[in-house]
């Protein structure tokens, strides 16, 4: 068990976090998407510790976080015009670009791949920590592998207290789901993980077609292998059984209410999750936190209504399907 320091957000405390990172330690910190667990991305030993603290499979690469455009050229020597356009439009912000990696990036950071995923976050605490550390920071979500991603510092403490050197106690994350991951290594960019930066926005910025990894469309059953290694793993799972109801909203509500009554009679504790379909950003903000609340309350079964699988709704549904292990009832 490691003696975990809880740090506030004063300059001195962020400075202390940065020093820990520089010395090869692990620091969890807030970003606008979800909390991240950071390590010096160019220090293989430090990155190795992230995998063990999270229990993360070693073929699941990390996103490397930077605090300025000059850091991008430390990681890759192939910055295309399209990458510049997207950086200009969406950075700092919740977009990750996968690009060809320079040799300086250790294989442990890229999960053995020749490419590296890079993001320039907008959260001021994250930016301050990265700049003070003076290294690019590898940072997957600061949860135990398989659990819902952490959107509040209490989630990070629940999962990682005693397993990391420090946790920075910031505010709740604004976005609530992880960044959009976009593969920029080919002529036509491809979305490997949907997020709040949507296909439409990217396509409009580049004025060209953007593909979506076919494996995102068909869940676990299909023959397509996802290009982002992390997308194949069981993810975001609450302790409760989870069932998604998909179809006309009114009929879905009725079916869920009926199922709830049936299950209560069987002595089960039920939670209903119905987000407003017209506000998928709000659903993104609340989703992971709702799952963790269910676990805390000892809920047995979560019944959740599907959102429309378009735009930000697609990103939320990608997480919801995984949380439920693709347990879907069509209404």
Say if residues 132 and 18 touch (Cβ distance below 8 Å): yes
Burial of 214: CB neighbours in 10 Å, binned 0-12, 13-18, 19+: middle
Distance of alpha carbon 179 from alpha carbon 202, whole angstroms: 13
Tell which residue, 154, 170, 172, 174, has the closest CA to residue 292. Answer: 154
Q: Which is nearer to ligand AMP, 182 or 273 (CB)?
A: 182
Buried b (16+ CB within 10 A) or exposed e, 164-186: bbbbbbbeebbbbbbbbbbbbbe
Q: How many residues does the chain have?
A: 331
From candidates 230, 238, 280, 313, binder to ligand AMP by CB under 6 A: 230
The listed partner (Mg ion, ligand AMP, none) that binds 155, CB under 5 to 8 Å by sort, is none
Q: Which is nearer to ligand AMP, 105 or 299 (CB)?
A: 105
Q: Which is nearer to ligand AMP, 147 or 193 (CB)?
A: 193
User: Can residue 63 be called a binding residue for ligand AMP (CB under 6 A)?
Assistant: yes
- Sequence-distant contacts of 44-48: CB under 8 A, at least 24 apart: 44/106, 44/107, 44/108, 44/109, 46/21, 46/138, 47/106, 47/108, 47/109, 47/138, 48/108
Tell which residue, 162, 215, 207, 167, has the closest CA to residue 189. Answer: 207
Say if residues 181 and 191 touch (Cβ distance below 8 Å): yes
User: Can residue 229 be called a binding residue for ligand AMP (CB under 6 A)?
Assistant: yes
Cis peptide leading into 120, omega within 30 of 0?
no
Site string for ligand AMP, 78-107 (x = CB under 6 A): --------------------x---------
User: Can residue 180 be called a binding residue for Mg ion (CB under 5 A)?
Assistant: no
User: Can residue 192 be called a binding residue for ligand AMP (CB under 6 A)?
Assistant: yes
In the window 103-162, what residues touch Mg ion (CB under 5 A)?
141
**Binding segment for ligand AMP among 55-63, 80-88, 196-204, 312-320 (CB under 6 A)?**
55-63
From candidates 116, 291, 317, 324, binder to ligand AMP by CB under 6 A: 116
What is the closest distance, in whole angstroms, from the C-beta atom of residue 315 to Mg ion in the complex?
14
From candidates 53, 231, 273, 317, binder to ligand AMP by CB under 6 A: 231
User: Can residue 318 be called a binding residue for Mg ion (CB under 5 A)?
Assistant: no
Distance of alpha carbon 208 from alpha carbon 210, whole angstroms: 7
DSSP H or E segment with residue 27:
strand 27-29
The listed partner (Mg ion, ligand AMP, none) that binds 115, CB under 5 to 8 Å by sort, is ligand AMP
What is the closest distance, in whole angstroms, from the C-beta atom of residue 235 to Mg ion in the complex?
7
The residue whose Cβ lies closest to ligand AMP is: 230
From candidates 43, 115, 133, 289, binder to ligand AMP by CB under 6 A: 115
Say if residues 65 and 136 touch (Cβ distance below 8 Å): yes
Q: Which is nearer to Mg ion, 59 or 310 (CB)?
A: 59
Tell which residue, 25, 23, 15, has the closest CA to residue 131. Answer: 15
The residue whose Cβ lies closest to Mg ion is: 141
Q: Which is nearer to Mg ion, 43 or 141 (CB)?
A: 141
DSSP string for residues in 242-255: EEEEES-HHHHHHH
**Where does this chain bind Mg ion (CB under 5 A)?**
141
**Where does this chain bind ligand AMP (CB under 6 A)?**
60-63, 98, 110, 113, 115-117, 140-141, 178, 181, 192-193, 227-231
């Amino acid at each position: 068990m490691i003696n975990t320091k809880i740090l506030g957000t004063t300059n001195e405390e962020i400075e202390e976090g940065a020093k820990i990172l520089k010395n090869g330690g692990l620091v969890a910190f807030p970003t606008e998407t979800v909390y991240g667990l950071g390590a010096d991305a160019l220090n293989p030993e430090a990155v190795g510790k992230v995998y063990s603290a999270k229990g993360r499979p070693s073929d699941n690469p990390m996103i490397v976080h930077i605090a300025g455009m000059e850091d991008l050229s430390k990681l890759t020597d192939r910055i295309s015009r399209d990458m510049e356009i997207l950086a200009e439009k969406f950075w700092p912000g919740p977009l990750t670009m996968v690009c060809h990696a320079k040799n300086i990036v250790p294989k442990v950071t890229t999960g053995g791949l020749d490419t590296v995923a890079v993001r320039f976050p907008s959260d001021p605490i994250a930016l301050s920590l990265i700049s003070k550390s003076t290294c690019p920071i590898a940072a997957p979500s600061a949860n135990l592998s398989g659990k819902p991603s952490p959107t509040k510092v209490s989630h990070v403490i629940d999962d990682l207290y005693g397993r990391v050197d420090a946790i920075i106690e910031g505010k709740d994350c604004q976005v609530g789901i992880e960044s959009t991951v976009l593969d920029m290594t080919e002529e036509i960019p491809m979305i490997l993980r949907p997020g709040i930066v949507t296909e439409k926005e990217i396509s409009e910025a580049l004025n060209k077609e953007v593909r979506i990894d076919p494996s995102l469309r068909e869940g676990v059953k299909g023959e397509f292998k996802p290009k982002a290694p992390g997308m194949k793993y069981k993810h975001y799972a609450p302790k409760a059984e989870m069932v998604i109801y998909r179809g006309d909203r009114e009929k879905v509500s009725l079916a869920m209410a009926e199922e709830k009554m049936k299950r209560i009679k069987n002595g089960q504790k039920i939670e209903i999750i119905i987000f407003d379909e017209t506000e998928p950003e709000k659903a993104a903000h609340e989703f992971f936190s709702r799952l963790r609340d269910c676990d805390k309350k000892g809920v047995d079964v979560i019944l959740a209504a599907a959102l429309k699988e378009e735009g930000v709704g697609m990103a939320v549904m990608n997480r919801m399907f995984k949380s439920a292990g693709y347990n879907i009832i069509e209404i």
